[in-house]
Structure 1
Amino acid sequence: MAQLSPMMQQYKQIKAENEDSIVFFRVGDFYEMFFEDAKKASEELDLVLTGKECGLPERAPMCGVPFHSCDSYIAKLIDKGFKVSICEQTEDPATAKGLVKREIIRTITPGTVLEDNMLDEGKNNYLASIVITNQDIGVCFTDASTGECHATVLSNDDFQTKIIDELSRFSPREILLSNDFCLKAPIVEEFLKSNFYGVVTLREDSCFDCEVTEALIMKHFSVVSVENLGLESGSSISAAFGAILDYLYETGINGQISVNEIDIYTDSQYMRLDITAARNLELCETMRTKSKKGSLLWVIDKTKTPMGKRLIRNWLLQPLINITTINSRLNAVEELVSNVILRGEVVEALYGIRDIERIMTKIVYGTANAKDLLNLAATSQKLPAIKILLENVNSKKLQSIYNNIDVLDDIFNLIEVSINPEAPATLREGGLIKDGYNNLVDTLRNDMKNGTSVLAEIEAREKERTGIKNLRVRYNKVFGYYIEVTNSFLDLVPEDYIRKQTLTNAERFITEELKEIEKRVLTAKDRIVQVEYEIFDSIRKQVASEVKRVQRTAVAIAELDSLTSMAVVSAENHYCRPLVNNSGKISIKSGRHPVVEQMINIPFVANDTFLDMQDCRSAIITGPNMAGKSTYMRQTALITLMAQIGCFVPAEIAEIGIVDAIFTRVGASDDLASGQSTFMVEMSEVAAILKNATKNSLLILDEIGRGTSTFDGMSIARAVLEYVADKRKLGAKALFATHYHELTAMEEQLSGVKNFNIAVKKRGDDITFLRRIVPGGADRSYGIEVAKLSGIPNSVIERAKDILKQTEQEGVVTYKTVANDDAQMSISMQSGQDIIKELNAIDVNTLTPIEAMQILFDICNRSKNL
């Protein structure tokens, strides 16, 4: 009976231990994949699926990639959510007796990536872990590529919503969960299925056991108690963080894992900003194209360093609540705005700063090459100039940055004197160490160089001694060094030459002298590669021991870069410093939308906003579509958010009372994947807002109730507004856009409600949107005028006017007779009559504005053929 070949048996055994990953199996100069892995990889990577003899009657499905270019293939698999296990040959095939030994050296997963080409320099690559206990919930986020670690404890009340908020805040690439997690948190499970773009990795319950995880934490940090790290023994945070450490070790990130401290935060430190608000406000990417351009991040990110890019993005998604911390950032931004020379010099000094945060992590993990060390040295060389620029700053934040920047001169000096600036990317071919740094390396190099010059001397001497004028001393890998003599001079060959090979036109000989030189030169070649690697590794470890200094400096540079970026944007766009306090007010004079004003070629029309906790808690905004209601509401939210990240804002004057959360309900979209209609999605979002908002929240509510019948929708909209505005129930600040003009009566009926509308200039049948927010309710929606602007045929527009007039006067729509002199109605006229009959059958009272527009568009398309 046929059985697998020895190598395939070896593969099967290794694969059985790594069932959940694609195994890259090293065979010579290739990584090969077999069986199901091969089928999967060939499809995902567009590789040719072939076969390999495996001892069975049928060939094993196989595909492969060159080992020297495997990174790009692995990156594609990781980006698609796969895990990849690297199985290396652990002994030299040339000297191996029998089957070459192989073992898994690393498993790369979406949350444990370290390689530069698999990472986005502008985003953190977080691995998350969540532990649910009877007492509380521990959540931990670790970026293995930077060494960052953030953890928090969530209370059990409404814990699933809180978990979703934290996942939205950090956007991890991979989450570690226990097998029974989904039973405990079904709402989170649904979120992970529909809104999470990372990978969920289920782990055994034992991986989250406090006793096991705390032992691992204490071993890693060399402490006798987790309490030395600010953790509580037996806590859910300890279990969550320990589970991450365990996973990092298991996937092959061995040795000194680059996590040196844990940032333990509370969810009350930051403004609540759920995934819906972040998406609707287009903080980091646009809703339509998913691109950075057109987002708020695109406007404020003028950073020059990778660390700064990551930090300013994190700041944007984590607006602050603490006034002191906010003003600390604002003071720094103000100093950089007012000091034009300092700002320009800092920007110039930040150019060319490398990603020392991730470089240092690679150094600690032992994966950094010579180029990484040289980049660290190049950045270190720039630090003294940056430090000098900050010597006389006034703001405490900039002073703190100055104090935390270590110029790292010892690291620079070590790398400068030791590492060859022309060193190759690989570490096993020599050329790493500078001449003059190590005596042994210099000696071995001299042996190699002298060996070459000695050969030339031997060749010249032997020509003279033997009289063989075309004698040559040569080298190849098979015979080593040899002397070659053509057949015409064989009679002159001396007796001490030893014949080695006969060719057609020549003979090759060796001598005892050549054998000795060969031994010395080749030994020097082999030995120098190993010696240089050992010296390099020693230097790398020496630098790794300074990880805390480098990481602290990297954080300081990131803060300086982010603050300078906000200062540059503020100065260039004429932003003002907001007054941030606990007044409960949002008072903005001549506010502008920070993104829209950058996207248009005409001056942006600025508007005022005033909301407080008393007489103007809720603003009802009426006016036609396309007039700017949504832009106005979003700009208010964005200005508030910008103030709370410590940035200047696009306004003449702004006073921002601290907002604990921003909630949005804008846009219309079906959730077809989960079987939810537009109206169900809308109501679910409104329910979540009313459940989680507080009196200190800011609510952006656009067209509540439009997904159902007119009277149902208006009733729901009014009930929601009453609940939001009533101080006894919620009393939050809210901007409430609606087409239900009946709601404007609430200004007289309910305390804290004010009417505003978008000004429109009307001339005959034409309208002009003035984009101005003015007090009072709109007298009409101008829907037909908007339809005309959108290009609907005049015949349809005229008929719509007739329908509107009849509806306003009689409450019903009657059929309009169309005169026809022809005895027989043409096909086009019959089609026109069909349209009129359909219009006659419409009950306008049951239509929402959106449904009316859809009917008009349908009529428009059909009327083009009349």
Structure 2
Amino acid sequence: MAAYTPMIQQYLTVKADYQDAFLFFRLGDFYEMFFDDAIKASQELEITLTSRQGGTEERIPMCGVPYHAAANYVEQLISKGYKVAICEQVEDPKLTKGMVKREVVQLITPGTVMEGKGLNDKENNYIASITSFDDQTYGFAYNDISTGESRVTLLSKNFDEVLNELAVLSAKEVVVASSFDGELQKKLRERDVLAISFEDNSSIDMNYSHLLKDLNQEKLKTAIARLFNYLYRSQKRSLDHLQPVTTYQIHQYMKIDYYSKRNLELTETIRSKGKKGSLLWLLDETMTAMGGRMLKHWIDRPLINQKEIESRQSIVEVLMSYYFERQELREKLKEVYDLERLAGRVAFGNINARDLVQLKRSLMQVPFLQQILQGMKNDKVNQMAELLDPCEEITDLLEQAIVENPPLSLKEGNMIRDGYNAQLDQYRDASRNGKTWIAQLEREEREKTGIKSLKVGYNRVFGYYIEITRANLHLLAEGQYERKQTLSNAERFITPDLKEKEALILQAEEKCGELEYELFTEIREIVKEQIPRLQALAKTISELDVLQCFAQVSEDRHYVKPQFSMEGRVVVTDGRHPVVEKVLNAQEYVPNDCIMDFDREVLLITGPNMSGKSTYMRQIALIAILAQIGCYVPATEAVLPIFDQVFTRIGAADDLISGQSTFMVEMLEAKNAISNATQNSLILFDEIGRGTSTYDGMALAQAIIEYIHTQIGAKTLFSTHYHELTVLDEELTKLKNIHVSAIEHQGKVVFLHKIKEGPADKSYGIHVAQLAGLPSDLISRANEILTALEQSDTQQAAPKTEAVKVESVQEQPAQLSFFDEPKGVKKQDLSSKEKRVIDKMKELDILDLTPLQAINMLYELQKKLK
């Protein structure tokens, strides 16, 4: 260290505490970076890498960015998952003889962004923390520092629940202890978490202890304390906008795991990873940023409490019946800015005068919103009107204090209204009168000297001056002015009167700027005291915005109010896929019914590719989700149970990061559903078993269907091209066959997209290939091969392929592992195919069968399929 210059020594001392962040080290008008930071930043930001002498023989790598433009560079680094420590001068250089003291004043990370392009208006920016306890449970807490929202829960020993919560939140950063398990950290990185940070202090601090008063478990307090300690340590400023911490349990909401959320494209599409084409895109008719964020939250966490769902429905129903009032409501909501984040910036200290004007304009809309709601003559809507707090004191203060169009910078002045402060008015009067005197002086001196080009000017270095061009200097009398500055083509002068007036004007302007800033900070502190009121108002407006959004979409798209069945019945008449219906525009979407009850728990769906099987399955899930967030649904009638969970296996995708094949991903998703589903769940399985050999796949598919039917009893839609499975309805009493109809016309297939009872007779695969535009020679050859295979199959196969009936067998003890050798069956008695199927089931661990059941089932199945 001693070999470096004092400045580099200071840099290295500060950098030692921020090894995982870029250190923006303030030197004059630039933030400088050195050593490895400089090399990496020059690459990431595409800025010039230079070097400087640092006290040693080797030159030190260096790069920098202007401090006034630093925000753009910080945003670029944060968007790539990096952290940036802002190191400022904390002493006045004019008052310091030696090295100016510098300290990190803020650590900006992906999860602690407060402003700028890094924040999406209609998305929360969550940072989460995970605390592992001795009993192998996990404390899970999260916060959006821009809004102050904080929640905490306890999760089971299964780390997948933690991963699922992170996926639901789209958390940008995770805070853990430095001793947190390395394998689990690897899993976090695989889930696209931008940053992992460390905080070992989980003790409660007085700064935020009042926010934890509603937490009744020490584990919950410890979990949120770790997160808060990290926030206070990294942000180094007031976080008075943090709201009281609320608890939640994941079983309070419909559980939709990471895979199902992705497969159903609830908030983003699989291909583009964007919002367009998702359910969120379809629904988002919100008029405010905070309403948009709440809509996403509701989609991520549908309700399972029927009373709460019906409460939302009732308000949607009222809003639909008052069309003109709803349109007026939407117009007023459009004028409401982001109250949640404005309140956060007030507490954070980075709010400006324009933000306060936005706050005032937003609050001015509240009385109009109240008036509109009160005119709807409904108790629940009227109660919501009463919750809208106009915060008149804040509105009046901002109206009296802040000009309508203030400058962006707080240092420019001219943001406080005339008449708000008497002292400020005096300074302004002195400054304005002085400038009037200057203008008068210019006119008088032109007349005295006869020099029409004479001008009185000002700059920050020399102050006020009289400027005369060299060509006119001969018109001045000797000693008429005092020379101040010589230019190439002019001279600048000053007079005693001008000097005196200059002192008066500059003193008034300096004091005016200082007083304006003091007054602004006073106003900000007054507003800060009202943050809880502003946050409560923001929450009510957000809910109102989402509910009017539901009413708007439901009316525009002809949705109906769903009813709920306590008997587990599903009766959907003329159901439609909401997103596909919108995308089709003028094209007619073919609606379909869905009937499920105690006698129809599993629907086995057959039919051609491209005929609409996957769309039909997805639409049932989306209708259920829409119903449970309180929205109307795309159908002419809908009676639904309240589902506790939705599981899907739709589509094919490799998980390359984890090194898992398409088939492995398929089996893992199947395992997740089978392991966690209850009789109150909804399962959608599309083409299970297609990623392996025919017999393997068919065996797995049948075993999964039988297990769901017999062991779980969940409402299940199972689509397949294994037509041999359609005979399962003869053995499984609660399974029914349905199919998507298609007809052949002049050698071409015509998809009718209509669901009908019974199994399909064929898959039309070659017809679909023809529609895709494969070469005609290839299509002809495929038909020849198909004919030959069908003839061969007819000659060799039994007249009818029956479903396997698993006879009742003597069970092994419940503790017996799936991998144990069962009694009565020896491995050498099994064929290679049987061994292969059993090994695959063993590898994937997807069925909770005793070994004897599994082998008997597969043995019998293989005999039949041969």
Cα gap change, 1:516/1:298 in structure 2, threshold over 3 Å: closer, same or farther?
same
The answer to whether structure 1 residue 398 and structure 2 residue 398 are counterparts is: no
The answer to whether structure 1 residue 371 and structure 2 residue 354 are counterparts is: yes
Deviation per residue, 1:487-533 (Å, 9 max, x gap): 53565436xx6665567888765555444323222222222111110
Residues in 2 aligned to 1:790 and 1:231: alpha-carbon distance in whole angstroms: 59
The answer to whether structure 1 residue 609 and structure 2 residue 594 are counterparts is: yes
1:748: how far off? 1.0
Q: Which amino acid in the other structure matches residue 437 of structure 1?
A: Y
Residues in 2 aligned to 1:146 and 1:688: alpha-carbon distance in whole angstroms: 34
Q: Which amino acid in the other structure matches residue 415 of structure 2?
A: L
The answer to whether structure 1 residue 674 and structure 2 residue 652 are counterparts is: no
Cα gap change, 1:122/1:813 in structure 2, threshold over 3 Å: closer, same or farther?
farther
Cα gap change, 1:303/1:532 in structure 2, threshold over 3 Å: closer, same or farther?
same
Corresponding residue number in structure 1 for 2:193:
197
The answer to whether structure 1 residue 22 and structure 2 residue 54 are counterparts is: no
The answer to whether structure 1 residue 493 and structure 2 residue 474 are counterparts is: no
Residues in 2 aligned to 1:244 and 1:64: alpha-carbon distance in whole angstroms: 32
Q: Secondary structure at the match of 1:105?
A: strand
Corresponding residue number in structure 2 for 1:3:
3
Q: Secondary structure at the match of 1:673?
A: coil
Q: 1:786 pairs with 768, 774, 777, which one?
A: 768
Corresponding residue number in structure 2 for 1:858:
none
Cα gap change, 1:161/1:397 in structure 2, threshold over 3 Å: closer, same or farther?
farther
The answer to whether the Cα contact below 8 Å between 2:611 and 2:752 also exists between their aligned partners in 1 is: yes
Residues in 1 aligned to 2:110 and 2:457: alpha-carbon distance in whole angstroms: 52
1:457: how far off? 4.8
Corresponding residue number in structure 2 for 1:516:
500
Deviation per residue, 1:211-248 (Å, 9 max, x gap): x22xx1x432558xx4xx21125x22111211121111
Residues in 1 aligned to 2:192 and 2:645: alpha-carbon distance in whole angstroms: 22
Corresponding residue number in structure 2 for 1:808:
790
1:467: how far off? 9.8
Corresponding residue number in structure 1 for 2:395:
412
Comparing 500-509 with 103-112, greater Cα deviation is found at 500-509
Comparing 458-467 with 391-400, greater Cα deviation is found at 458-467
Q: 2:676 pairs with 665, 676, 692, which one?
A: 692
Residues in 1 aligned to 2:486 and 2:714: alpha-carbon distance in whole angstroms: 98
Structure 2 unaligned regions, length at least 5: 797-832, 837-866
Cα gap change, 1:394/1:199 in structure 2, threshold over 3 Å: closer, same or farther?
farther
Residues in 2 aligned to 1:675 and 1:461: alpha-carbon distance in whole angstroms: 86
The aligned runs of 1:344-743 (5 Å cut-off) are: 344-393=327-376, 397-457=380-440, 474-482=457-465, 487-488=473-474, 491-493=477-479, 500=484, 510-600=494-584, 601-612=586-597, 614-726=598-710, 729-743=711-725
Comparing 170-179 with 671-680, greater Cα deviation is found at 671-680
Cα gap change, 1:479/1:741 in structure 2, threshold over 3 Å: closer, same or farther?
closer
1:780: how far off? 1.6
Comparing 65-74 with 294-303, greater Cα deviation is found at 65-74
Q: Secondary structure at the match of 2:783?
A: helix
Corresponding residue number in structure 2 for 1:97:
97
Aligned length, in residue pairs: 794
1:162: how far off? 2.2
Residues in 2 aligned to 1:436 and 1:539: alpha-carbon distance in whole angstroms: 15
The answer to whether structure 1 residue 767 and structure 2 residue 718 are counterparts is: no
Q: Secondary structure at the match of 2:273?
A: coil
The answer to whether the Cα contact below 8 Å between 1:463 and 1:471 also exists between their aligned partners in 2 is: yes
1:367: how far off? 1.0
Corresponding residue number in structure 2 for 1:758:
740
Corresponding residue number in structure 2 for 1:140:
141
Deviation per residue, 1:391-447 (Å, 9 max, x gap): 144555533421221112221111111112232111122112111111111111111
The aligned runs of 1:16-165 (5 Å cut-off) are: 16-93=16-93, 96-135=96-135, 136-154=137-155, 156=156, 158-165=157-164
Deviation per residue, 1:793-828 (Å, 9 max, x gap): 3332232222222222224999xxxxxxxxxxxxxx
Q: What TM-score do you get using the length of structure 2 for normalisation?
A: 0.87
Cα gap change, 1:378/1:738 in structure 2, threshold over 3 Å: closer, same or farther?
same
Residues in 2 aligned to 1:484 and 1:806: alpha-carbon distance in whole angstroms: 103
Structure 1 unaligned regions, length at least 5: 815-842, 847-866
Deviation per residue, 1:80-116 (Å, 9 max, x gap): 0000111122344456534333221111011111013
Corresponding residue number in structure 1 for 2:815:
none
Cα gap change, 1:321/1:56 in structure 2, threshold over 3 Å: closer, same or farther?
same
Residues in 1 aligned to 2:154 and 2:749: alpha-carbon distance in whole angstroms: 55
Q: Secondary structure at the match of 1:385?
A: helix
Residues in 2 aligned to 1:278 and 1:300: alpha-carbon distance in whole angstroms: 16
Q: Secondary structure at the match of 2:684?
A: strand
Corresponding residue number in structure 1 for 2:207:
219
Residues in 1 aligned to 2:571 and 2:490: alpha-carbon distance in whole angstroms: 97
Residues in 2 aligned to 1:323 and 1:659: alpha-carbon distance in whole angstroms: 11
1:161: how far off? 2.6
The answer to whether the Cα contact below 8 Å between 2:319 and 2:551 also exists between their aligned partners in 1 is: yes
Corresponding residue number in structure 2 for 1:246:
229
Residues in 1 aligned to 2:371 and 2:384: alpha-carbon distance in whole angstroms: 12
1:294: how far off? 1.0
Comparing 402-411 with 699-708, greater Cα deviation is found at 402-411
Cα gap change, 1:95/1:702 in structure 2, threshold over 3 Å: closer, same or farther?
same
Residues in 2 aligned to 1:107 and 1:423: alpha-carbon distance in whole angstroms: 29
Corresponding residue number in structure 2 for 1:262:
245
Q: What TM-score do you get using the length of structure 1 for normalisation?
A: 0.87
1:790: how far off? 1.9
Residues in 2 aligned to 1:716 and 1:505: alpha-carbon distance in whole angstroms: 94
Corresponding residue number in structure 1 for 2:173:
174
Cα gap change, 1:78/1:629 in structure 2, threshold over 3 Å: closer, same or farther?
same
Q: Secondary structure at the match of 1:41?
A: helix
Comparing 527-536 with 3-12, greater Cα deviation is found at 3-12
1:143: how far off? 0.5
The answer to whether the Cα contact below 8 Å between 2:329 and 2:369 also exists between their aligned partners in 1 is: yes
Cα gap change, 1:507/1:754 in structure 2, threshold over 3 Å: closer, same or farther?
closer
Corresponding residue number in structure 2 for 1:827:
none
Q: Secondary structure at the match of 2:646?
A: strand
Cα gap change, 1:395/1:751 in structure 2, threshold over 3 Å: closer, same or farther?
farther
1:477: how far off? 3.6
Cα gap change, 1:498/1:347 in structure 2, threshold over 3 Å: closer, same or farther?
closer
Q: Which amino acid in the other structure matches residue 631 of structure 2?
A: C
The answer to whether the Cα contact below 8 Å between 2:32 and 2:64 also exists between their aligned partners in 1 is: yes
Q: Secondary structure at the match of 2:47?
A: coil
Residues in 2 aligned to 1:513 and 1:22: alpha-carbon distance in whole angstroms: 53
The aligned runs of 1:830-845 (5 Å cut-off) are: none
Q: Secondary structure at the match of 2:336?
A: coil
Q: What's the Cα RMSD here?
A: 2.6
Deviation per residue, 1:264-292 (Å, 9 max, x gap): 11111100011101100011111111121
Q: 1:303 pairs with 286, 300, 311, which one?
A: 286
1:2: how far off? 9.4
1:641: how far off? 0.7
Residues in 2 aligned to 1:734 and 1:469: alpha-carbon distance in whole angstroms: 93
The answer to whether the Cα contact below 8 Å between 2:167 and 2:191 also exists between their aligned partners in 1 is: no
1:355: how far off? 0.8
Q: Secondary structure at the match of 2:657?
A: helix
Q: Secondary structure at the match of 1:422?
A: coil
